[in-house]
Chain A
């Protein structure tokens, strides 16, 4: 199979508060709501994703931290209960997911060919991190699309920010090659918050939105500046000032997902669609989409065949992956 392509990328942050606020059956703690603007932003993103009909979702998460290389989930079926070590009161989520192992292996191989240390994670008892799970739930709560999970190598923290992000750029390019080689229609998910200055104590009622606001005005202004540039499609300018943004706003994009996603998409000077922005314990979170199909940079999904529905075909594919 060949001629795969990336059809969209989403900035898809992972505060577990959003799952908590939504009250899905998979999550034990129950809330009175909260963080609606961000959850509604994800509703819009879900709708768009549904129209895109991807074969696979690739997610790069800052909460799977690896010191030696870039790791890829490599077990076909993973399940368990994910308890967030920071917010166990909000996120205790029972998950089941299917991994597109063939694509993960291709990503790993292409990364290695480009000189990165890359490893497959084959241990079936592995605990998938809450960042991966939160992002995937928020963008596709049906869990009916196979995924590729990618770790955040700690190079931007261990080396300089620039050296680390250079690695993520290489990883993104390798990811694109793998997608093209395996024929997948792929959506990329950068699981990153923007400004990451946050409160140090949680309100007694976490979803009490009268207590929610940006932790830092300077951080908020940085977020608005970055979002505005992204909305205008000024990608090169965003990446020019990215190290300064990271330093001054303690931005979580330092961990690499944002750079990985844009490198994979070829840094298109394409206006991003802002689905919504909101703060979570003071951090800045934007849900944004770069739809390469709408922009004419990727092909639309083939019309559904006369027989089984697309959803049915997807289910059949997921079944075959098991």
Chain B
């Protein structure tokens, strides 16, 4: 198995920028536990997919060796900026471009000074790997790719890592239910915006904890539709693809709201 660990984490800047806000503490605590698990798994690289890195042409792969800067979120600009310093495994990234292209999915690398790095990638890397110990391979979320294409892409990426004799951690960055508060709220009173969303999230988290992949497969489409799940839960498809489809359960390190939307830090048992 190429994948030595796998995590699904939220990409909302709220948790990073206001970690002490009580409703967001469970997510921060979850990130802390996941960060320890990631470190213990000692990957050679992290295969990361963020729903917030949007592409519409091709599958894009980040290939700049080092990315530094300070990003300001489009919506939460009043909460401050998010400095980042990210290293990329460019050998693996370029190999992924080639392999994914060979698998029939048009792919390109991007290597540009000041290319905009999305909030989700920054949040995940800052909270999962605060010391920047592990280089990344980052793939964009092409809006026209479905879950099957996303799984295929992730599977090819994992196989490419294996061919380079590299162990990888797999990270899918994105939210759960997507109903949000559309007006400002007192952030200390944040909660999942809809009870039905909360119920759906908890049901799916239970299935993940038990590793009920069969039941999950039958319900994800309905979950995505009814709970307005972030990008149809394609970040989970990324994880499934990279770990070969199966996992033996999961640990939910943290669950909570992000201005009404659902967020969870999940570690998969491989």
Interface residues, chain A, with chain B CB atoms under 8 Å away: 64-69, 71, 80-81, 83, 85-88, 92, 117, 119, 121-123, 125-127, 129, 151, 155, 158, 198-202, 281
Interface residues, chain B, with chain A CB atoms under 8 Å away: 53-58, 70-72, 74-75, 77-78, 80-81, 106, 110, 112-116, 118, 144, 180-184, 259
Q: Give the chain B neighbours of A281 by CB distance below 8 A.
A: 57
Contact check, B57 vs A202: say whether CB atoms are below 8 A apart.
yes
Report the separation of the CA atoms of residues A293 and B55 in the bound assembly, to the nearest whole angstrom: 41
Q: A87-B57, A127-B116 are in contact. List 7 more A-B contacts (CB 8 A).
A: A65-B74, A66-B75, A69-B183, A71-B75, A83-B112, A88-B112, A123-B72
Partner among A65, A85, A92, A126 whose Cβ is within 8 Å of the Cβ of B77: A126
CB B76 to nearest CB in A, in angstroms, measures 8
Report the separation of the CA atoms of residues A271 and B106 in the bound assembly, to the nearest whole angstrom: 43
Report the separation of the CA atoms of residues A200 and B116 in the bound assembly, to the nearest whole angstrom: 21
Partner among A64, A67, A202 whose Cβ is within 8 Å of the Cβ of B58: A202
Q: Give the chain A neighbours of B81 by CB distance below 8 A.
A: 123, 125
Report the separation of the CA atoms of residues A69 and B114 in the bound assembly, to the nearest whole angstrom: 28
A83-B115, A83-B116 known; A123+B78 contact, CB < 8 A: yes
Contact check, B75 vs A68: say whether CB atoms are below 8 A apart.
yes
Q: Give the chain A neighbours of B118 by CB distance below 8 A.
A: 85
Can you list 18 A-B pairs, Cβ within 8 angstroms, ordered by A? A65-B75, A68-B181, A68-B259, A69-B184, A80-B114, A85-B55, A87-B57, A117-B182, A117-B183, A117-B184, A121-B78, A123-B80, A125-B70, A127-B71, A127-B72, A151-B74, A158-B182, A200-B57
Report the separation of the CA atoms of residues A1 and B55 in the bound assembly, to the nearest whole angstrom: 45
Q: Give the chain A neighbours of B113 by CB distance below 8 A.
A: 81, 83, 92
Q: Give the chain A neighbours of B55 by CB distance below 8 A.
A: 85-86
CB B162 to nearest CB in A, in angstroms, measures 28
Contact check, B182 vs A67: say whether CB atoms are below 8 A apart.
yes
Report the separation of the CA atoms of residues A123 and B71 in the bound assembly, to the nearest whole angstrom: 11
Q: Give the chain A neighbours of B259 by CB distance below 8 A.
A: 67-68
Partner among B57, B72, B181 whose Cβ is within 8 Å of the Cβ of A199: B57
CB A142 to nearest CB in B, in angstroms, measures 24
Contact check, A201 vs B182: say whether CB atoms are below 8 A apart.
no
CB B226 to nearest CB in A, in angstroms, measures 15
Contact check, A85 vs B115: say whether CB atoms are below 8 A apart.
yes
Report the separation of the CA atoms of residues A10 and B12 in the bound assembly, to the nearest whole angstrom: 35
The interface residues of chain A, by DSSP majority, are classed as loop
Contact check, A92 vs B78: say whether CB atoms are below 8 A apart.
no
Report the separation of the CA atoms of residues A119 and B80 in the bound assembly, to the nearest whole angstrom: 15
Contact check, A88 vs B180: say whether CB atoms are below 8 A apart.
no
Report the separation of the CA atoms of residues A71 and B74 in the bound assembly, to the nearest whole angstrom: 9
The listed residue with most B CB atoms (<10 A of its CB), out of A86, A117, A129, A198, is A86
Q: Give the chain B neighbours of A201 by CB distance below 8 A.
A: 57-58, 106
Report the separation of the CA atoms of residues A87 and B57 in the bound assembly, to the nearest whole angstrom: 9
Contact check, A68 vs B58: say whether CB atoms are below 8 A apart.
no
Report the separation of the CA atoms of residues A128 and B180 in the bound assembly, to the nearest whole angstrom: 24
Q: Give the chain B neighbours of A126 by CB distance below 8 A.
A: 72, 77
CB A191 to nearest CB in B, in angstroms, measures 15
Contact check, B112 vs A92: say whether CB atoms are below 8 A apart.
yes
Contact check, B115 vs A88: say whether CB atoms are below 8 A apart.
yes
Report the separation of the CA atoms of residues A68 and B261 in the bound assembly, to the nearest whole angstrom: 12
CB A133 to nearest CB in B, in angstroms, measures 12
